[in-house]
């Protein structure tokens, strides 16, 4: 699955940018609060407007300090998947239950330096695991291949989560992530930096499925 990240899109034309990638599986939306990460993007009102203007399932990645307070609102608004960071969540089991009760899939994300082993049990409450392959905050950074070990650990433990990877995914890096067992590839600059974003999605998908 390919999830274009709107972080690299034109924020003044979000509906058009969403519709420019109609073949995408999910639309990845990076919510940053300027505290959990040193960047500020958008919040629930903009996500609500986006949900009303696209048919593509919306995948919200919350890089915020207080997901216990804010995450459920993104699920209630109609997001398909809502991901919180394990480094920020105070009661991640409660968050997962609330997200699911509101009708969304529940996602848990780990920053590049956060190990996954302490959270293997916790992940039984979650539907998706988002492995960050750059330090969260900005698009266009270089892929960190060492995080693929976490994907392999998740696979080895037979976790029934869908594994997403986020950061630095492009035509040069997507294959190694696919080989490690990633299911869903987030790509910002590789999609919206291309002349034809829809074609870029298809190229990435073809490259990811070539040898896996
Ligand atoms: C970074 C965000 C990513 C970002 C990826 O913190 O979580 O979703 O958009 O951008 P690229 O694909 O350009 O690395
Ligand atoms: Zn993201």
CA 139 to ligand 1 center in whole angstroms: 4
> Is-above-0.95 flag for pTM?
yes
Contact 28, 42 (CB under 8 A): no
Q: What is the pLDDT of residues 169-189, one digit of tens each?
A: 999 999 999 999 999 999 999
Beta bridge partner(s), residue 83: 61, 107
- Sequence-distant (6+) residues with CB within 8 A of 98 are 71, 72, 75
Task: Give me the catalytic one of 30, 33, 59, 98.
Answer: 30
30 among known catalytic residues: yes
Return the CATH number of the domain spanning residue range 2-211.
3.20.20.70
Q: Where are the domains of the chain?
A: 2-211
Q: What is the pLDDT of residues 120-139, one digit of tens each?
A: 999 999 999 999 999 999 99
Nearest to 41 by CA among 68, 2, 76, 14: 14
């Amino acid at each position: 699955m390919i999830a274009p990240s709107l972080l690299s899109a034109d924020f003044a034309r979000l509906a058009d940018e969403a519709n420019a990638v109609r073949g995408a599986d999910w639309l990845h939306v990076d919510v940053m609060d300027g505290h959990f990460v040193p960047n500020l993007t958008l919040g629930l009102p903009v996500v609500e407007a986006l949900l009303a203007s696209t048919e593509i399932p919306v995948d919200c990645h919350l890089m915020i300090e207080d997901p216990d307070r804010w995450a459920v609102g993104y699920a209630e608004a109609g997001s398909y998947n809502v991901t919180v960071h394990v480094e920020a969540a105070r009661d991640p089991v409660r968050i997962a239950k609330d997200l699911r009760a509101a009708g969304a899939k529940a996602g848990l994300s780990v920053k590049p330096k956060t190990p996954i082993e302490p959270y293997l049990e916790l992940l039984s409450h979650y539907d998706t695991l988002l492995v960050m392959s750059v330090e969260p905050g900005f698009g266009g950074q270089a892929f960190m291949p060492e995080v693929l070990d976490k994907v392999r650990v998740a696979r080895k433990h037979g976790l029934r989560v869908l594994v997403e990877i986020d950061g630095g995914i492009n035509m040069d890096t997507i294959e190694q992530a696919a080989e490690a067992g990633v299911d869903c590839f987030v790509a910002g600059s590789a999609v919206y930096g291309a002349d034809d974003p829809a074609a870029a999605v298809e190229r990435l998908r073809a490259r990811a499925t070539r040898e896996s």
